[in-house]
Structure formats: structure tokens, C-alpha cells
Amino acid sequence: MAIAIIWILFSIGAAICASNKNRSVFIWFILGVFLGPFALIFVILLSPVPVVSAGPGRFDFLGHFFNPPRPPAIERHYCPECGWHLSNNVPMRNRTILNWCPRCKKEIL
């Protein structure tokens, strides 16, 4: 019984050390349950993970940070005179599908 309590304390210690080194607390707690003092020694010897800068992204189930690719930005064109939103198939310069604003009838260069 005392050995089981000591073993759990080693796993909690490994989880706390992992948290201080920016590593996955859950993974190191589970490793501490299975490996006991060896997991604690191993996590103490590991170097800390660099802190990820703030920004879009998330952590996967192993605690690794990843930044999913963003969809390409949609180009939006507006009439310079009235500010009317022109559809994406109406080019702004040097393409002659439509070279005037349908709202104010001004020529778009």
C-alpha cells in the first residue's frame, strides 16, 4: 500500500515538473504511473520546450502546438466613388469585364 502511494507521488511529481517545462501534464502523469521514479528523473533531465508566441493555433492530443493553414483571403473590390461592393468577377484594373460601377455608373480605372 505504501509503495502504491509513493508511486502515485512520483507520477504527480513528474506531471508537475512537466508542467514547469511546458510539456504535457497528462502524458507525463501516465508515464509516471507506469515508470514511477524513472519518469520523474527523465522529465527533470529534459530541457524545457520554448513557449509558443500568441496567435492562432491549438494543441493536439499529445500537447504539441500546431497552426492549421488558413484559407486564402477573398479579394474584395469597392467602387472608389460610392463605396459599393463590387463582385469578385468585376476586376478593378486593366481587365475589361466591367469597367463601371453598376450603382453610381462611374468609370472604374
pLDDT digit string (tens) for 53-93?
545 556 666 666 666 666 666 666 777 788 777 665 444 55
**53 assigned to some structural domain:** no
**63 assigned to some structural domain:** no
Give the cell for residue 75. 479579394
Report how far residue 38's alpha carbon sits from residue 14's, in angstroms, rounded to the nearest whole number.
Answer: 9
pLDDT band at 13 (very low <50, low <70, confident <90, very high): very high
**59 assigned to some structural domain:** no
**60 assigned to some structural domain:** no
**55 assigned to some structural domain:** no
**86 assigned to some structural domain:** yes
Q: Does the pLDDT of residue 95 top 70, yes or no?
A: no
Sign of CA dihedral 13, 16, 22, 27: positive
Could you tell me how far CA 51 lies from the centroid of its own chain?
13
DSSP string, 48-109: PPPPPPSSS-EE-TTS-EE-PPPPPPPP-EE-TTT-PEEPTTS-SSS--S--B-TTT--B--
Query: Kind of pairing, strands 77-78 and 85-86?
Result: antiparallel
Tell me which of 41 and 53 has the higher pLDDT: 41
Counted domains in the chain: 2
**57 assigned to some structural domain:** no
CA-based radius of gyration for the chain = 29
Residue 23 belongs to domain spanning: 1-47
**82 assigned to some structural domain:** yes
> Given this model, what pLDDT does residue 80 score?
78
pTM for this model (two decimals): 0.48
